[in-house]
Amino acid sequence: MTLIGGIFGLALLYYGAEFLVKGGSAIALKLKVSPLVIGLTLVAYATSAPEMVVSCDAAIKGLGDVSIGNVVGSNICNIALILGLCAIITPLQVNKKLLQFDVWLMIAASLALLGCFFLNSGVNRIEGAILLLCSIAYTVWSIYASRRESAMEESKSAQDAATEITAPPSMNMLPAIALAVGGISALVLGGKLFVNAATLLAQLCGVSDAVIGLTVVAVGTSLPELATSLVAAVRKEQDIAIGNVIGSNIFNIFTILGVAPLISPLQAVGINYVDIFLMLGLSLILYIFMKSNLKISRTECAILLAVYIAYTVYLIMR
């Protein structure tokens, strides 16, 4: 029944992603914000719900390694695996606005986490509070800046760009919110069912718990991002596909590692600096790839996937 539940979980992931992309796009229209901002905020935060649950639960249990390791591993997975797979489907066109601020903020967040490790091998309450304030400020600023830009740009080209989404323009706000909430719920439940099934299957095959935790669970908490970005890429919603990953990485550090330490200060002496430096390095590589021709090509996606495969092998050997 668990394995059957895993198959059902995959279906929930697909349809949850469909609903969230459609509902999020419709909300973008009604609020007069761009699909890019919806991808960076609503969609990104929603798909990071599993990471939030896992990290906060680990903080309550005093498992700092799990709480921080979950965030670092998910950020690596988001860039190397998810964007790599998305670019295989179709080369991803990059919105210039991402290069101006959001990617740099993702890099700054990675540096902030690295700084916390240098100071105390974890994240304390004061550092967590600062990270959480950064998350709130970023969200408010993103929505405000997008609404201001929408109000200032009334040209036909701006209107055409704003309506290049899959949701019907006639969709009202209430159905759009219901669609997005339903999608989020399906993503969370689908991810849980799939992780349970994958873990059981790995155990039946004789794989150790350590390997399961480093591979199945790490990827499992990123399944909502994977499903959402893949569906968005297929539907040519490239702003949502890329924005979801960048927004999730920002959310994971600023919000999850902002909230979890407030529950209990996080100590992660077992986290290797290789993991954090790889997360930071991938953020810098992503910036380089995005800036080159404003596109993430299939060749570049192959490099990202190769890095993720090599990292997974390294984790198992470690």
Query: What's the pLDDT tens digit per position in 276-291?
Result: 899 999 999 999 998 8
127 — pLDDT class (breaks 50, 70, 90): very high
- Specify which residues 122 forms β-bridges with: 267
- 311's CB contacts (< 8 A; 6+ apart) are 76, 80, 278
Global pTM reads 0.76
Phi then psi for 206, rounded to 5 degrees? 85, 15
Q: Could you tell me which of 256, 261, 250, 252 has the C-alpha nearest to residue 123?
A: 261
Cα–Cα distance measured from residue 103 to residue 249, given in angstroms and rounded to the nearest whole number: 10
Query: What's the pLDDT tens digit per position in 189-236?
Result: 876 777 677 667 767 777 655 455 556 666 777 777 777 788 777 777
- 255's CB contacts (< 8 A; 6+ apart) are 45, 48, 52, 131, 132, 135
Distance of CA 138 to the CA centre of its chain: 16
Cα–Cα distance measured from residue 138 to residue 102, given in angstroms and rounded to the nearest whole number: 9
CB 108, CB 97: distance < 8 Å: no
DSSP SS3 for 166: coil
Cα–Cα distance measured from residue 115 to residue 40, given in angstroms and rounded to the nearest whole number: 24
Confidence check: pLDDT of 33 > 70: no
Query: What's the pLDDT tens digit per position in 296-313?
Result: 888 888 899 999 999 888
Query: What's the pLDDT tens digit per position in 54-93?
Result: 777 778 777 777 778 878 888 998 899 988 888 888 888 8
CB 238, CB 98: distance < 8 Å: no
Altogether, the residues listed in the chain come to a count of: 318
Please state the rounded mean pLDDT for residues 104-114. 93
